[in-house]
Amino acid sequence: MARASAELLSVADEVGGLAYPCDLSDLAGLAALVERVEADGPVDVLINNAGVSHVGWFLDRTPAEIDQVLTVNLLAPVHLCRLLLPRMLERGRGHVVNISSMAGVIAPPGLAAYSASKAGLSHFTAGLRADLRDTPLRFTTVHLGSVSTEMDEEARSYGPMRELAAKSGGRDITPMPVFVAAVLDAVEKDRVQVRVPAVMAPLAMAAELPRKVGRLVFKRASAMELRRD
Catalytic-labelled residue, pool 114, 139, 158, 179: 114
Euclidean distance between CA atoms 100 and 8, whole angstroms? 22
Reply yes or no on whether 20 is catalytic.
no
Q: Looking at this protein, which amino acid is placed at residue 150? A: E
- The phi, psi pair for 190, rounded to 5°, reads 55, 45
Residues recognised as catalytic: 114
